[in-house]
Structure 1
């Protein structure tokens, strides 16, 4: 049965501390008909309100405390509250899951949620961060283990490497600024995909287009670029592709590409053609390549490009298991 875009049921789920912060960060920018949830083992600050349903999970496992940076504790907590979580997340057309991997709660819980949703008729997009280098090899290993599981059960998994983000920041950046940068990228990734469904464009992208690109895709990367002036298309594309978060993935192996261009009425047909050509010139021509445009009525000289490359493969992974981990 076809449903108008505004009738698609969408939820955003934040898991653990990072996921909770994400929900607080983005709730004002989402439509009221998008349901928001937070699942955490730490029961502190989990009172629900009119906008967000917050739930402490696995209380009999953690006594209302955190998972203690142990993913198996988070996993047990998710299974202990499995039926209640499933009841909350039943009946949606699309669910976003957000969290920071490497610790105990999100690392253990998110793979359980994506496995649960893989058995439902629901499009699942997971957006996660991985630890900074200073957080240690054990957290890095836990995060990669979780990503391997998520990639096989979530329709799409977007990974934001905090360590890679450091390359884009000044050496004088504070710890707070580093985590803020991570939150911004996670937020932009989530809102970028959501806006493809919620915003009406001149060449429109809808839920069906998004489903075509990310359904069963696994690892997914996102490029965002902005350009201004005579060479704005080339500048925007280069900014989107020269991104440290894309370096670890082979875009040539992408299974589908979705491109959204936002500009004013000055956007030319040859500019749309050039953007598509530059973004996909190294990609197999047989894969689905979907291009949409949003035309602003407000005059502006800049142009924004948002590109999703789904089903990509990682170039190299040499992360060894740290000593002391069975």
Structure 2
């Protein structure tokens, strides 16, 4: 198989590329990435000389480039997106362009150039909004709470509409919160590890009682592989680990693993529209595709803390004002 991976220099995309090239010796990957703020060439260091890997610098909103690449592949795994909620609050227009117009550009390229190509559109649990009890299934209504999740919900609808109207071979995955190696330092888990290692206060929004289901990134890319190979066209697959934790519990777990004092925790002003709890029912992918997570939260978070402590040379150049600011959504607010 020859794959086009969009956003492959990002967190989940780079983990996916590493996993696929290690697992499938006869697969090839073209990585299309504009090298925006969430991209890091160091994520794929060492692949430059692999004949199965090709990097193309470019934007998914460029119709000519995307149409050219779509003709060369059997499948597309579409990761590329602006994905940080805090940034979407201060700069929503970038999310509209990348997440909505970018997805439209890919769908139109498939429609015009290669309708046989298999498309996996990687989405998020945030499109459902939050829930105080129970878990969302693939058939539940969408109720996004932020500019980020609104643009992801819009792109999901585009995929479903184009797939039905033009009979495209497209599926959607919606996952819970990922963590693991190569995650951009603005996110909660790497930000906590990095700030604790620097002896800085750990900002926790509100009371820290917001609940997320935490999924180790390798389990996520395994699920995407399963959907790519065995998933049905025009189907949506929730991906979750059943590892719900409050943000405060996550921070305390990391500090304990690092032997740091919990006095580092500092409660700060909550961000607008902050969802209280996300929870997905992933029975469908378990039943139909026989996927299950391999890592418990305790195993995954230990591996993650160890990776960041051993790879300071990776994250140190990425530490900027958004990592150091206690309420980054206010920058440019």
Q: Which has the higher contact order (CA 8 A, sep 6+)?
A: 2
TM-score interval, smaller chain = 0.3 to 0.5
Looking at secondary structure, tell me which structure has more strand per residue.
1
- The normalised TM-score by structure 2 is 0.43
